[in-house]
Amino acid sequence: MTITTTSTGSAWPGLDRVPGGPRTAVSAAVARRLFLAAVDRLPVSVQLPTASTTERHGQGGPLMVVHRPDELFARLGRDGLIGFGEAYLTGAWDAEDLTGFLTVLAANVADLVPEPLQRMRRLVLRGRPRAHRTTRHRTRDLIAHHYDLSNDLFRLFLDESLTYSSAWFDGDHHGDLHQAQRRKIDRLLDQAGVGPGSRVLEIGTGWGELAIRAAARGATVRSVTLSVEQQALARERIAAAGHADRVEVDLCDYREVQGTYDAVLSVEMIEAVGYEYWPTYFRTLDRVLAPGGRAAVQAILMPHDRMLATRGSYTWINKYIFPGGFLPSAQVIDEVTARHTTLRVVDRLAFGPDYAETLRRWDEAFLARSADVRGLGFDETFLRMWHFYLCYSRAGFAAGYLDVQQLTLAREA
């Protein structure tokens, strides 16, 4: 489905004005040449208007229709992939099968830009803003940018458990999403050994489903979050489930947690930690974990070489969705835990295709409820942005560029 857009306004600074000037003209011409040369090698189709006809590029496949090529290449030339995504937000280009088109790009990401230009990446593209460093005094605002948007917004497209992380379908992508989310949580609890009397720490509350299921096993749970909106609804859901006496949900930075716990669980929170603080994150797990305890972490991962190449960069996802976010690799987690903690990964489950399926279902639900999204006060640009975000993320998993894993950590015997 293609969502049409209206003209952008001051709510979206930078989108209401197309880059211009002599330097932009040069960078736009270079971007056009590089982009068309890249797509001509790929199984996609790109259609763009010229003065007298329609120009076509690509080897055939998911179709990208460029409505305003001058704008697309001006944004791409000035801001790279951020500009490419922004050109979608403004309607400069569309794709009926947006995920399919982005999946081809994700599968060929290393070949999109010639290697000599890749080495100049840090000289050409903007680095991460200082305000996006995930320090103690900045992290709450960075988290609020996404997670405090509106609980009602997330209710529109998540399953009834309000679980905002990959489900585990265990080989059955036709299965029920709610059951797949419960299966994912139960496996994490099993891996961490959560049962009657367990003292559980959860880093990153979400909307409380993991805490509810841990409490139902007879555990006592402390869950920490930096999202005011999530804390309020999680407490409400926990009370409604009858577990208010077993679960406390605190507004607390993970770095400030004290106490000793038999099990530590953290689901897709490490992505918001920031690469400078990965040692701090894992040292925290090590510090609070009781002797004989286990930690279970669910993490989105990227290839190690791409992680090294993009560390410190500023992406479309950072600008519009997750400021300060950055994905680790499986290798760097092994390296950080070995260097800074007594913990080691003793079990891992990889299920990246399940995240692609989870995102497909979220996107379909989001698009089906677009009128309700507008009713919450979000505009057409937001609709395009969220659709692009879900498809962009899904493409990464569908292409195998991204993975999601459940990692069980324990101390060496």
Write down the domain spans for the chain: 22-125, 131-411
Q: Tell me which residue of 84, 91, 68, 147 sits closest to 381, measured CA to CA.
A: 91
The DSSP H or E segment spanning 122 is: helix 121-124
The predicted structure's pLDDT at residue 147:
65
The DSSP H or E segment spanning 12 is: none
What the block records as the tokens of 219 is 């555990």
Angle in degrees, CA 171, 173, 177, rounded to 5 = 115
Under 8 Å CB-to-CB from 3, ≥6 apart: which residues? 367, 370, 380, 383, 384, 387
Give me the amino acid identity at 78: R
CATH of domain 131-411: 3.40.50.150
pLDDT, tens digit, 9 for 90 and up, residues 104-122: 999 998 777 666 555 555 5
The predicted structure's pLDDT at residue 2:
41
The predicted structure's pLDDT at residue 324:
85
Range 365-393 average pLDDT: 97
Q: How far apart are CA 239 and CA 244, in angstroms?
A: 5
Distances (CA, A) of 394 to 101, 106, 312, 365, 391: 11, 10, 23, 14, 5
User: Which of the four pLDDT bands, split at 50, 70 and 90, describes residue 224?
Assistant: very high
pLDDT, tens digit, 9 for 90 and up, residues 10-20: 578 779 889 89
Q: Tell me which residue of 185, 211, 348, 203 sits closest to 283, measured CA to CA.
A: 203
pLDDT, tens digit, 9 for 90 and up, residues 61-110: 999 999 999 999 999 999 999 999 999 999 999 999 999 999 999 999 87
Residue 128 confidence (pLDDT) above 90? no
What the block records as the tokens of 290 is 């009781």
